[in-house]
């Protein structure tokens, strides 16, 4: 079976990685590449950055792109993803969403759209991070008492949202395992005279610099010992390969909102 794929944000860091992965996959066909209406890349061949002619020109015409596609893979920004998803619902095109930084209202709208069309959404498509999420559930349940929990993430200088979607997901997993609500217990940075640490909190620290692809550590700090569970990405190819696994998973689904835990058989 050939999966006909449109890529949104095709000139972005992930967009390019996805185009390369789709072109290399025997069971996938690149049928459209989208960018913003003011992008200087419009009209260029989607494979130009690889020195490859694909015959697919980068365009801003969302309905025309989706008319040729069975799937859209979207790593853009929340407002872009929402516009693309509404068009996916209208066109009956399944979606893989990697974008992070959605508001609660946007997440609710995505869930509503997924009642009509199948969607995989995950803040991190790598197999490794999704295994780490399972490890965190086990660790948090075992370390319920006497351990302070801090989540530290580091990314490249171009990242616009903080904490990362992955760090927030890690916080949600840990909070759920402890029976806490992340919205009530998260502390996003500290400054000045903060007072002693409240043991019921989950702290977040964000580092931005250079070309760091994506590092995440969850620290369980007790008395006399500490446990650190760390994942480090050294290539965006893992996110692209995870996205193609999500496309193949969606082939068998008509509607519903799924995560990478479903795709990887770990739900
Ligand atoms: N789930 C996962 O595994 C991963 C998720 N991400 C997430 O993916 C997203 C993109 O990351 P990255 O590729 O590094 O970002 P880039 O900034 O490199 O690329 C974003 C692309 O989306 C386009 N874009 C921006 N805003 C809009 C819009 N409103 N409508 C349509 N297109 C738009 C950009 O165009 P222009 O340049 O013209 O603005 C660009 O082509 C981020 O949210 C990031 O956190 C990243 C890696 C892995
Ligand atoms: O913007 C990035 O680069 C990344 N974003 C995702 C996130 O916010 O968690 C995933 C990965 O860490 C890379």
Most distant CA pair in the chain, distance: 61
Ligand 1 site residues (CB inside 6 A) read 9, 11-15, 35-36, 39, 75-77, 79-80, 98-101, 122-125, 165, 239
Final residue of a domain: which of 91, 121, 151? 121
Instruction: Look at ligand 1, atom 29, and give the residue with the nearest C-alpha.
Output: 80
Tell me which residue range forms the domain holding 105.
3-121
User: How many CB atoms neighbour CB 17 within 10 A?
Assistant: 20
165 touches ligand 2 (CB under 6 Å): yes
Q: Are residues 117 and 131 in the same domain?
A: no
Q: How far is the CA of 106 from the centre of ligand 2 (A)?
A: 18
Is residue 259 in some structural domain? no
Reported ipTM: the value is 0.99
At 196 the three-state DSSP class reads: coil
Q: Are residues 157 and 215 in the same domain?
A: yes
25 neighbors 2 (Cβ within 8 angstroms): no
Q: How many of the other CB atoms lie within 10 Å of CB of 92?
A: 12
Tokens of 237: 């190819």
70, 101, 121 — which closes off a domain? 121
38-47 contact pairs (CB < 8 A, 24+): 39/11, 41/10, 41/11, 46/7, 46/10, 46/19, 47/19, 47/23
Indicate the residue among 121, 151, 166 that finishes a domain. Answer: 121
216 is annotated as an active-site residue = no
Q: Which ligand is nearest to the CA of 169?
A: 2
Q: How many domains does the chain have?
A: 2
Do both 111 and 212 map to the same domain? no
Complete edge-to-edge strand list for the sheet that includes strand 3-8: 58-59, 28-34, 3-8, 71-74, 94-97, 118-121, 256-258
The answer on whether 15 is annotated among ligand-binding residues is no
Q: Is 158 helix (H, G, I), strand (E, B) or coil?
A: coil
> Is there a binding annotation on residue 11?
yes
Considering the domain architecture, whether residues 88 and 192 belong to the same structural domain is answered as no
Residue 163 is labelled as binding a ligand: no
Are 113 and 149 part of one and the same domain? no
Looking up residue 27, the CATH number of its domain turns out to be 3.40.50.720
Q: Is 123 in the pocket of ligand 2 (CB under 6 A)?
A: yes
Q: CA-CA distances (angstroms) from residue 97 to 90, 135, 226? A: 17, 24, 35
pLDDT per residue, tens digit, the chain (267 aa), is 899 999 999 999 999 999 999 999 999 999 999 999 999 999 999 999 999 999 999 999 999 999 999 999 999 999 999 999 999 999 999 999 999 999 999 999 999 999 999 999 999 999 999 999 999 999 999 999 999 999 999 999 999 999 999 999 999 999 999 999 999 999 999 999 999 999 999 999 999 999 999 999 999 999 999 999 999 999 999 999 999 999 999 998 999 999 999 999 999
Q: Which of 84, 94, 155, 169 is catalytic?
A: 155
């Amino acid at each position: 079976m050939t999966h006909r794929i449109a890529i949104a944000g095709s000139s972005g860091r992930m967009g390019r990685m996805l185009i390369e992965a789709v072109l290399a996959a025997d069971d996938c066909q690149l049928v459209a590449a989208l960018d913003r209406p003011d992008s200087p890349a419009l009209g260029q061949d989607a494979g130009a950055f690889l020195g490859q002619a694909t015959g697919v020109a980068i365009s801003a015409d969302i309905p025309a792109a989706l008319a040729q596609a069975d799937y859209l893979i979207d790593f853009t920004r929340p407002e872009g993803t929402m516009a693309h998803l509404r068009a996916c619902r209208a066109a009956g095109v399944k979606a893989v969403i990697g974008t992070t930084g959605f508001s609660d209202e946007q997440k609710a709208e995505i869930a509503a759209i997924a009642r009509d069309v199948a969607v995989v959404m995950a803040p991190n498509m790598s197999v490794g991070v999704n295994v780490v999420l399972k490890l965190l559930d086990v660790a948090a349940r075992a370390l319920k008492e006497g351990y302070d929990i801090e989540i530290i993430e580091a990314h490249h200088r171009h990242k616009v949202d903080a904490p990362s979607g992955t760090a927030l997901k890690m916080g949600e997993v840990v909070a759920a395992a402890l029976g806490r609500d992340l919205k009530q217990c998260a502390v996003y940075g500290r400054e000045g005279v903060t007072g002693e640490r409240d043991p019921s909190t989950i702290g977040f620290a964000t580092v931005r610099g250079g070309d760091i692809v994506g590092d995440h550590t969850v620290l369980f700090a007790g008395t006399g010992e500490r446990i650190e569970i760390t994942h480090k990405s050294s290539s965006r190819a893992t996110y692209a390969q995870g996205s193609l696994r999500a496309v193949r998973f969606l082939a068998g689904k008509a509607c519903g909102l799924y995560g990478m835990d479903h795709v990887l058989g770990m739900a």
